[in-house]
Amino acid sequence: MSIKTIIFDWAGTTVDYGCMAPVMAFKNAFAEKGIELTFDEIREPMGRLKRDHIAILLELPSVQEQWLAAFGQPSQASDIDALYERFEALLFEKLAENSTLKPDTAEVVSQLQAKGFKIGSTTGYTSEMMEVVTSVAKEAGYVPDYFVTPDTVGNLGRPYPYMIYQNMKHFKNTSVSEVVKVGDTVSDILEGKNAGVFTIGVVEGSSEVGLSLAEYNALSTINKEQLIEKVTRRFYEAGADLCILNLTELLDYFIHGKELTKHTSNFPQINA
């Protein structure tokens, strides 16, 4: 493959270690309605368009049961709208402080750009949300060459491939073989595979791991290894071509010449 464009996700991949901002906004928006969600339930659709994410959560049997008990009727389309409006308000309250770069983002992307790679990005955030996120990222030294939000492609966000195709159009890529997608959720993996591009799952700091940097560093070695294996397996089962621990490993492939090949076993070891 002759890679020219690398497309990154945002929260959980390049910023917001553990993808905390949207998770807490979803949890609190539902809690205000008297609906309790587990973190696993919230994270399952992570990476999707946020309004779609809310609709998926409302379809959960446990949520339907709680909603019926609280309001005496099933949730309606108007409830999706109301929850999304509250989610958005809660997210904006914490978005800036939860848009801190992950530890390796600025240095890795800087080296990739210096080598001539074009850096694109896709996200589940809206354009308005990204005004906040990109501003904080820029101050910390991360400026991708381009970003696409679901509302710029007719709200056909992940797992649809259109945000990736919009990046390809912007960079004038002639083939999907020139493009790599990097993300931290199953939705990211599906987006990449639906677009037909080589797709990489990043484990540390991901929504799939779901821990802050301090929480992750506090894990015992064995617990950390078990969590890495669990998330890696989940990415490969979703169709990922490669899994990496963190973004620094991208330098091995794109700068130091390590061969970028698809995995050949059901569960290869990271970096195998």
- Give the tens place of pLDDT for each residue, 177-206: 999 999 999 999 999 999 999 999 999 999
Q: Known binder of ligand: residue 114?
A: no
d(C-alpha 72, C-alpha 66), whole Å: 10
184 is in an annotated binding site: yes
What are 48-79's pLDDT values in tens digits? Answer: 888 899 999 999 999 999 999 999 999 999 99
Which sequence spans correspond to the domains of the chain? 5-19+99-254, 20-95
Q: Which residues fall within 8 angstroms of residue 177, CB to CB, at 6 or more apart?
A: 1, 2, 198
Asked whether the beta carbons of 251 and 111 are under 8 A apart, the reply is yes
CATH of 20-95, one of 1.10.150.240, 3.30.365.10, 3.40.109.10, 1.20.1070.10: 1.10.150.240
- Name the one residue in this structure whose structure tokens are 């569960």: 267
CA distance 187 to 160: 9
Q: Is 72 helix (H, G, I), strand (E, B) or coil?
A: coil
Q: Quick one: CA torsion of 115, 144, 101, 99, rounded to 10 degrees?
A: 180
pTM: 0.86
Other beta carbons less than 10 A from residue 259's beta carbon = 7
Within a 13 Å sphere around the CA of 204, how many CA atoms are in the beta-carbon half? 19
pLDDT per position as a tens digit, 67-116: 999 999 999 999 999 999 999 999 888 889 889 999 999 999 999 999 99
Assess if CATH 2.160.10.10 describes domain 5-19+99-254.
no
Residue 9 annotated as binding? yes
Report the catalytic residues: 9, 50
